[in-house]
Amino acid sequence: MKNKPRTSRRDPGRMLIGVVKLFYFSAFLLLWLKDFAWQGLLLAVAVPVMIHLGTAFLPRLFPADKLLLSLVNFLCALGVLVLYDTNPSYAYQQALYYGVGLVCMVVCIYLVRLIRTWSVPAALLIPVSLALLALPLLIGKETNGAKNWFYIGGLSVQPSEIVKLSLLIIISYYMSRRKFFIWLGFAGCCLLLLMLQKDLGTALLYYGVTLMLYYASSSNLLMTGIGLLGGAGAAMVGYKMFAHVKKRVAIWRNPWSDYDNSGYQIVQGLMAIASGGLVGVGLGLGSPRTIPVYHTDFIFAVICEQFGVIFGLFVLLMYVAIIWRGATIAMAARRSFHGLLAMGCTLMLGLQTFVIIGGVIKLIPLTGVTMPFVSYGGTSLVSSLCLAGLLQGVASLNEDDLDEDTRLATMDVPGEVEP
C-alpha cells in the first residue's frame, strides 16, 4: 500500500464511477429477479461495462472531462433502465442508440480538436441544415400536430435534432467572427421552417439558445431586450394563430377541466409523480404505462413514480451539475468560437431540460421536446451525446491549453534571472 501512487487515491472520479456502476448493476439485477429474463442479467453486466468504457477508456484517448462523462453516462443508462422496466423493446433500441451515440460523441470530440478553421464547415453546414429542416415539409408525416419527422427505410428521423448541432456551430462561428447578418439570417430561416412544421417546442429552444448566446457573445443588453420583446410578440402571434397552442395553454392553466381528453396526459403525469411520493413505489412496480408517451416526453414522471420525488430532485441536480460544468468549460475556453460553442451546448441542454421538466410538472405549458439523454428516441439521444461530445472537445482543448501554459511557465528562458 505504501508504494501505491498518491495520485490514484485522490482521483475524485473513481468513487463516483464506482457508485454509478453499482447503481445499474443492482437495478438491472432487481429487474432480472422479477421475471428471470436473461436480457435483464445481460444488461446488468453490459450497462456497467459500457459505463466503464465510456468513463475510464475514453479519457485515455484525450484529456476528457470525467465528471461530465460520468453524469452523461448515468443519465443515458437511466433512460435504458426505465425503458426496460416499462417496455423492453424500447430499451434494446435505446441501448443500441446509446452505443451509436457514444461513437458519435468521440467523433465530435475529435472534430473539435482537429478542425482549426471552421469557416468552410460552417459555410457548408448552412445549406445542408436548411435543406434538412425543409425535408419534413416535403416528405414528412404529421405527428401530434407537428410535421417534424420523415422516414427513410423504416427509420424515423427528426431533422431538427440534427440541425440543433449545426445551429450551434454556425451561430457560434459567425458570432465569434461578428458576422451579424449571417447567423441572424440562418437562425431566422430555421425558426421560420420550424414554425411551418408547427414544431413550437424546438422553435422555442432554437430561439432561446440563439438569444442567450447573442447576449453571451456581445453583452448587448439593449439588443437582447429587443430580441426578447420580439420573441414575446411572436409568441402572442402564435397563440392567436395556432389553435393547438391555445389548447396547450388552456391545459396548462387547468388540466382538470378536460382531464379525460386533452388534459389526460398531464393529469396522468401529475398523478404518477404524486403516487410515487418521496421515495417512489419501487422499481418494476406502479403503472407508468398509463401515462401517454411515457417513454419520451413524460419519462421524468415515470422516474419520479418509481424512484420518488427525492430521486427526481437528484436527477435535476445532475443536470445542474452538467450545466455548471459546461459553463465552466465555456468560461475557460481560450478562443471565442470554442467558448460560444461550449456555452451553446450547455444552454441547449439546460433549456431543453427546463422546458420538458417544467412542462411535466406543470410549471410551463407542455411542449414536445425530449428529456436530454434519458428520453427514448435515437435521434434525440445521439444528438444529445453529440452535444456532450462538442462540450468534451472544448474541455479537452482547455486542458491542452492549460498544460501548454504550465509548460511555458516552467520552461527555461535564456537569460532569465531567478527572482
Partner 1 sequence: MPDDLYEILALGMRYWFLLLGALIVWRSFRWLRKDRREKHRRLRQLPDAGMIGELVVLVGSDELPEGTAIPVPREGVLGFLRTCDVVVPVPGVAGHHLDFTFQDGKGLLITPWRGQSCQVDADELTHRSKAAHYPMHHGSRLFVGDAVLRLRLFAGLETSAHPAFAPDAPETEQTPVTAWQDTPYIYHQHPAAWVDTGRMTPLDGQQPPYAPMEQPPCQPPYPQAYQTPYDPQAGQLPYQTPYDPQAGQLPYQAPYDPQAGQLPYQTPYAPRQDWLDSGYPQGGQRPVTYLPPAGDGLADAPEEEAHAPADSAEDFGQPRPRVRHSLLGRRNRHEE
Residue indicated by cell numbers 443508462: 77
Nearer to partner 1, 261 or 410 (CB): 410
User: Would you say 139 or 285 has its CB closer to partner 1?
Assistant: 285
Residue 25 or 252 with smaller CB distance to partner 1 = 25
Instruction: Give residue 153's identity as a one-letter amino acid code.
Output: G
Write the single-letter amino acid at 121: P
Least Cβ distance, residue 214 to partner 1 (angstroms): 14
Q: Give how far Cα 271 sits from Cα of 88, 301, 304, Å.
A: 23, 9, 10
Using the 8-state DSSP alphabet, how is residue 308 labeled? -
Cβ(198)–Cβ(245) under 8 Å? no
The beta-strand segments (E) located in 55-158 are 141-143, 146-152, 155-157
Asked if residue 372 lies in contact with residue 75, where contact means CB atoms within 8 angstroms, the answer is: yes
Residue 326 CA to residue 223 CA, distance in Å, equals 25
Query: Nearer to partner 1 by C-beta: 20 or 213?
Result: 20
Whose Cβ is closer to partner 1: residue 15's or residue 155's? 15
Instruction: Supply the minimum distance, in Å, between the C-beta of residue 407 and partner 1.
Output: 8
Pairing of strands 146-152, 155-157: antiparallel
- Of 32 and 149, nearer to partner 1 (C-beta) is 32
Q: Which residues bind partner 1 (CB under 8 A)?
A: 7-8, 10-13, 15-16, 19-20, 22-23, 26-27, 30, 33-36, 59, 63-64, 66-67, 70-71, 74, 178, 219, 279-280, 282-285, 307-308, 310-311, 314-315, 317-318, 321, 324-325, 328, 332, 334-336, 399, 401-403, 405-406, 408-411, 413-417
Describe the strand order of the beta sheet including 146-152 as a list of residue ranges.
141-143, 146-152, 155-157
Task: Quote the least distance from Cβ 241 to partner 1, whole Å.
Answer: 38
Shortest Cβ distance from residue 292 to partner 1 (Å)?
A: 25
